[in-house]
Amino acid sequence: DTGVSQNPRHKITKRGQNVTFRCDPISEHNRLYWYRQTLGQGPEFLTYFQNEAQLEKSRLLSDRFSAERPKGSFSTLEIQRTEQGDSAMYLCASSLRETGKAFFGQGTRLTVV
């Protein structure tokens, strides 16, 4: 499978715990994006990497959220001290250059109880 891969697919956590998600983009893609999608809504942009550099962050990305892409390949998104409002689908996408064609992974569904 050469598509965008996200792990885990589902995560249930207790409020206050930390969680980390992983995204493996399409191998030749140097751009990587994180989005958050709540039920019945369109995805909302969180952050963007070009290679290992994090070039843009949304105001949605509070201090409890951090993302990394240490070697310009896979990326991780960590949420500290989770809250019930963090429950959502977290989507990763990648693209090559600025062609505009972003390819999405299947997402990680987070449920905070």
By CB under 8 A, name the binding residues for another protein.
31, 33, 35, 40-45, 48, 50, 55-56, 58, 89, 91, 93, 98, 100-107
Nearest residue (CB) to another protein, 18 versus 51: 51
SS (H, E, C) 15-30: CCCCEEEEEECCCCCC
CA distances from 91 to 45, 70 (A): 9, 19
Beta-ladder partners of 33: 48, 93
**Least CB distance to another protein at residue 84 (A):** 21
**Least CB distance to another protein at residue 97 (A):** 12
Nearest residue (CB) to another protein, 56 versus 78: 56
CB pairs under 8 A, 24+ apart, for 65-68?
Answer: 67/34
Nearest residue (CB) to another protein, 52 versus 80: 52
